[in-house]
């Protein structure tokens, strides 16, 4: 009896290990999400990682700062998520980044940001869909202009389909911090994007 119990325990253990291995293999061999962010005060970086956490429930995820992002997403990338802070009603420019650095920003670079990265994307037909986000001051919530919407328009000109409407996350002031609950909302948004990517894939097959 003891021998039979030992054999059964080993069998159950092997099945459990096989199940874990199968799940890991399925995720690793599946599609990938690339999250590209520009951040000056660190707030957008936190949002990007929170979005990545939500996406990681079903996709392999790479979160990368814009200056280190690939010029062209790889063939395994099914979704690109790109975001940065809103400056002067749109994406940052060299002069607005210089202003942020003068105000004490310790992240990002004056010469290169989300705008420049999107400009360098090669034109394409098909390929990954793209979702955009930004960080904005809560006090300017109702004001026009959004880096996320500007980024979405620029990406469409390069042939990227919009996976979801542009999304904004809010900071209390220019240098932050993020408004309470925004990181949780960013994680939820990342999870929601997974369903949209699956729907897009089905529509493409039809």
- Determine the pLDDT at residue 8: 40
Whether residue 134 is predicted with pLDDT greater than 90 in this model: the reply is yes
Q: pTM (2 decimals)?
A: 0.82
Residue 192 Cα distances to 43, 58, 70, angstroms:
21, 11, 25
Fold entry, domain 31-205 = Rossmann fold (3.40.50)
Smallest CA-to-CA distance from 109 within 38, 37, 36 is with 38
- For the chain, give every domain's residue range: 1-30, 31-205
Q: What is the pLDDT of residues 171-196, one digit of tens each?
A: 999 899 999 999 999 999 999 999 87
- Determine the pLDDT at residue 190: 98
Q: What is the pLDDT of residues 80-91, one digit of tens each?
A: 999 999 999 999
Report the first-to-last Cα separation within the chain, whole angstroms. 56
Rounded to the nearest 5 degrees, what angle is found at the Cα of 185, between the Cα atoms of 169 and 69?
Answer: 60
Sheet holding 60-65, edge to edge: 60-65, 32-37, 77-85, 129-137, 167-171
Q: What mean pLDDT, rounded, does the chain reach?
A: 84
Q: What is the pLDDT of residues 27-60, one digit of tens each?
A: 444 689 999 999 999 999 999 999 999 999 999 9
Beta-carbon count within 10 A of 177 CB:
13
For 87-107, what is the mean pLDDT? 95
């Amino acid at each position: 009896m003891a021998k039979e119990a030992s054999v059964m325990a080993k069998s159950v253990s092997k099945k459990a290990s096989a199940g874990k291995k199968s799940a890991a293999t399925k995720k690793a061999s599946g599609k990938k999400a690339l999250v590209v962010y520009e951040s000056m005060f660190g707030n957008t970086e936190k949002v990007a990682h929170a979005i990545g956490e939500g996406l990681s429930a079903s996709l392999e995820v790479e979160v990368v700062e814009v200056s280190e992002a690939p010029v062209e997403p790889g063939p395994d990338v099914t979704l690109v998520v790109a975001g940065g802070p809103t400056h002067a009603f749109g994406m940052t420019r060299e002069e607005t980044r210089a202003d942020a650095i003068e105000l004490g920003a310790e992240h990002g670079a004056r010469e290169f940001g989300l705008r420049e990265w999107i400009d360098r994307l090669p034109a394409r037909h098909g390929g990954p869909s793209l979702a955009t986000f930004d960080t904005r001051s809560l006090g300017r919530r109702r004001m026009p202009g959004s880096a996320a919407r500007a980024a979405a328009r620029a990406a469409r000109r390069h042939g990227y389909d919009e996976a979801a409407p542009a999304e904004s996350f809010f900071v209390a002031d220019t240098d932050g911090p993020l408004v309470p609950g925004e990181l949780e909302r960013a994680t939820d948004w990342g999870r929601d994007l997974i369903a949209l990517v699956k729907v897009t894939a089905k529509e493409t097959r039809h």
